Amino acid sequence: MKAVIWTNYGPPDVLQLKEVEKPTPKDNEVLIKIHATTVETGDCELRQYKMHNKIVYPMRLYFGLFKPTRVKILGQQLAGEVESVGQNVTEFKQGDLVFAPIMSFGTYAEYICLSSTQAIAIKPANMSDEEAAAVSVGGLNALHFLKKANIQPAQKILIYGTSGTIGTFAVQLAKNFGAQVTGVCSPSKTELVKSLGADAIIDYTNDDFVKNGHFDGKPYDIIFDTIGKGPFSASLNSLKRNGIYLLANPTVSQMLRGLWHSITTRKKVMFEFAGYKSEDLNVLKELIEAGKLKTVIDRSYPLEQIVEAHRYVEQGHKKGNVIVTV
């Protein structure tokens, strides 16, 4: 089968399309023929190991000190078709159209084997492969954090990074929960964020998003930084006394400061890995099929152009998701 092999740490050119052995499913696994996947900012950060103060060194020990050895194929989510199943698999059958997030990477390829008990769901009937491939990582992370904050109707939430993989879903899900949403983005992405349901937009290039653009001048119940680039202290100061600050991609400094503030004040800073669950994936599927949730696709590349796709994503200007068709 064809697969994009991660040969070294560095620029997009370290990704090389090669022929590798097609996997065979174990007794508890499904073999999925991948139709579409995505290129995430996290894929680019990992590929070049520019992870802006995140926990780099332990991760590098895991992936490989001098070059990647444990993981050779990147890619974090997919839409595809079950080609065969192991003898103990009862959850899926040959021909099922599915979508899934992949914690161990591996979707830049024609095939992948996954345990049938991990987060896999039947693809929404009203979505194409390209649309479904872009759901799970952003959707599950957004759902996880909003549920963690116990978001309630009429609460005021500010979402930073509203045009990204997580942010586009966070806006829609927050609106489905009945919240009043303020989105923070650049002028070129204002119309997109409005189309997702945001009640107010703040242009971070001209406005102080923690002071301006709110509905009634009162503090926020929740601030959700989906990309880890919001001002930490100013965000905390813009929360209500019992407000919640959600960090989807925190730096080490933010995590340490967040722990201290959660202990010493009534405001809570929440950050944790969003464990992927089939039940949450099916929640997203139901919302999609009810017409309450959609994916945002910036552009699409064939697998053979994965290097170009990475070059585009690492520029930092994508709107929603960049798709790779396999």
The answer, yes or no, to whether residue 51 has pLDDT greater than 70, is no
pLDDT of residue 232: 86
Print the domain residue range for 234. Answer: 138-270
Does residue 226 share a domain with residue 245? yes
Does residue 144 share a domain with residue 106? no
Does residue 168 share a domain with residue 91? no
Exposure string of 104-126, with b = 16+ CB inside 10 Å and e = fewer, is ebbbbbbbbbbebebbbbebbee
Which of 234, 232, 239 has the alpha carbon at shortest distance from 260? 232
Does residue 198 share a domain with residue 115? no
291 phi-psi bin (left φ>0, alpha ψ -120 to 50, beta other)? left
Q: How far is CA 84 from CA 25, 43, 93, 239, in A?
A: 8, 28, 7, 51
Does residue 105 share a domain with residue 149? no
pLDDT of residue 54: 53
DSSP state of 303: G
The answer, yes or no, to whether residue 105 has pLDDT greater than 70, is yes
- Judge whether 314 lies within some domain: yes
The CB-side HSE value for 157 (13 A sphere, CA atoms) comes to 36
pLDDT of residue 261: 85
- Judge whether 203 lies within some domain: yes
pLDDT in tens, 148-172: 999 999 999 999 999 999 999 999 9
245 contact partners, CB below 8 Å, separation of at least 6: 222, 223, 225, 235, 236, 239, 258, 267, 268, 269, 270
- Judge whether 281 lies within some domain: no
Does residue 248 share a domain with residue 129? no
Q: What is the pTM of this model?
A: 0.92
**CATH of residue 82:** 3.90.180.10
pLDDT band at 94 (very low <50, low <70, confident <90, very high): very high
Does residue 144 share a domain with residue 31? no
Tell me the mean pLDDT in the region 110-131.
97
Residue indicated by tokens 């899926």: 92
Q: How far apart are CA 46 and CA 104, in angstroms?
A: 13
Give 219-256 as a DSSP string: PEEEEEESSS-S-HHHHHHTEEEEEEEEESS--HHHHH
- Judge whether 280 lies within some domain: no
**CATH of residue 150:** 3.40.50.720
Give 82-135 as a DSSP string: EEEE-TT--S--TT-EEEEE-TT---SBSEEEEETTSS-EEPPTT--HHHHHTT
Q: Say how many residues make up the chain.
A: 326
pLDDT, the chain, mean? 92
66 contact partners, CB below 8 Å, separation of at least 6: none
Does residue 6 share a domain with residue 128? yes
- Judge whether 204 lies within some domain: yes
Q: How far apart are CA 142 and CA 57, in angstroms?
A: 27
Q: How many domains does the chain have?
A: 2
Chain centroid to CA 196: how far? 17
Exposure string of 247-264, with b = 16+ CB inside 10 Å and e = fewer, is bbbbbeebbebbeebbee
Does residue 228 share a domain with residue 146? yes
Does residue 219 share a domain with residue 98? no
- Judge whether 84 lies within some domain: yes
- Judge whether 263 lies within some domain: yes
pLDDT in tens, 224-265: 999 888 888 888 888 999 999 999 988 888 888 889 989 998
Does residue 53 share a domain with residue 123? yes
Does residue 318 share a domain with residue 242? no
- Judge whether 286 lies within some domain: no
pLDDT of residue 215: 46
∠ CA 321-324-326, rounded to 5°? 150
190 contact partners, CB below 8 Å, separation of at least 6: 201, 203
pLDDT band at 181 (very low <50, low <70, confident <90, very high): very high
